[in-house]
Amino acid sequence: MATSNLPLESVLILLAIGALVGSCITAGLFFIRTRNAAAADVAVIEALTPVAESLQALAAQVERHERTNVAAQTELRTALTTTWESQVQVLQRSTDDVRREASRLAEVLSRTGARGRWGEMQLRRLVEASGLLDRVDFVEQATVGSIDAVGRPDMIIRLAGNRSVVIDAKVPLAAFLEAEQTTDEASLQLRLRQHADAVIRHIDALKTRDYQALVPNNAEFVVMFLPSEALLETALQMRPDLLDYAFERNVVPATPTTLFALLRTVSLTWRQEQLAEHAEEIRVLGIELHRRLVTMATHFSRVGQSLDAAVSNYNKAVGSLETRVLVTARQFGELGTGDAELEAPTVLHSTTRPLSAPELIADAG
């Protein structure tokens, strides 16, 4: 048995046995050299008897260790094999499930109506995630146009300043899905070119519809929404000039990432517009409040003047009562016609407090 297959404990035991045997052999040789041959043989045999017994015991122990080690290795190998097979089966089932779901999804998306609804659903989720409100900031499936021409874009985004942007969702998936399932390089390149051509046809169709003329106050471009980044990326690989081709026709291809950035900017613009409107309302309210405060200050000034006039007239009446009326009335008391003494009313010395605020004095004056 190779030493490399033995456990460390067995190797150490064998090394100890080797050392012991070597010592015994050395002792035997010593006896042989120093005594006669017969006596040396007897001495060597007697000396090696305990060694032989120890060797047998050690050999038995090594054998037990080897059996235990083999059993443990067999058990570990069996457990690893079972676990590996189980994991492979789980992975195989998961792969099969994913493949079946992908096939069903591809089958569903191969239908034109299903692709259109999927694109519209992705567009609405993206618009709602950007913070825009339905029928406030955007309108879906609105019929636009005049008697001569009518259109129905997927969505119209309302911008600040009474402007708008038309968004139409397009899902060119037929050739794209066929390319994903193709293993032949020539067929793959053919399907990819067909996919790029399909995107070009959608751009031409949006140019022909001329939403800019149908939607009042529309921006001078139409957003073509592709609900997957891979749809535009694959088309650009085959047609690097695709963006220039679209821009020349006032069509802006957009994926979920780029469209979300655009919609988020629109949402922030609306917030700034609302803040500006609120600031204008606050300014108008401030002007009106100031005007009413001026009117109230004028009224208070007039009330104060009236109170001062009333006090002055009261004091004049008191003076007339004391100097003219009570003098004559007291003469009746001196003639014995009355017991109560007539007392003069108290003169008022208080005056109203005038307005002191500079703006009220200036405006009231």
pLDDT at 98: 56
The residue-averaged pLDDT of 134-157 equals 66
Question: How many alpha carbons lie under 13 Å from residue 255 in its C-beta half-sphere?
Answer: 11
pLDDT at 149: 46
CB 259 within 8 A of CB 231: no
Query: Is the predicted pLDDT of residue 171 greater than 80, yes or no?
Result: yes
The residue-averaged pLDDT of 289-299 equals 83
- For residue 192, the one-letter residue type is L
Query: Is the predicted pLDDT of residue 239 greater than 70, yes or no?
Result: yes
How many CB atoms sit inside 10 A of residue 80's CB?
Answer: 10
Average pLDDT, rounded, for the chain: 77
CB 294 within 8 A of CB 355: no
Selection from 27-31, 298-302, 352-356 with the highest mean pLDDT? 298-302
What length is written for the chain? 365
Pairing of strands 163-169, 218-225: parallel
Rounded CA Rg of the chain: 54
CB 144 within 8 A of CB 152: yes
Pairing of strands 144-145, 150-151: antiparallel
Selection from 78-82, 223-227, 266-270, 324-328 with the highest mean pLDDT? 223-227
| Phi and psi at residue 162, to the nearest 5° | 60, 40
**Band of pLDDT at residue 148, cut at 50, 70 and 90:** very low
pLDDT at 157: 87
pTM of the predicted protein model: 0.52
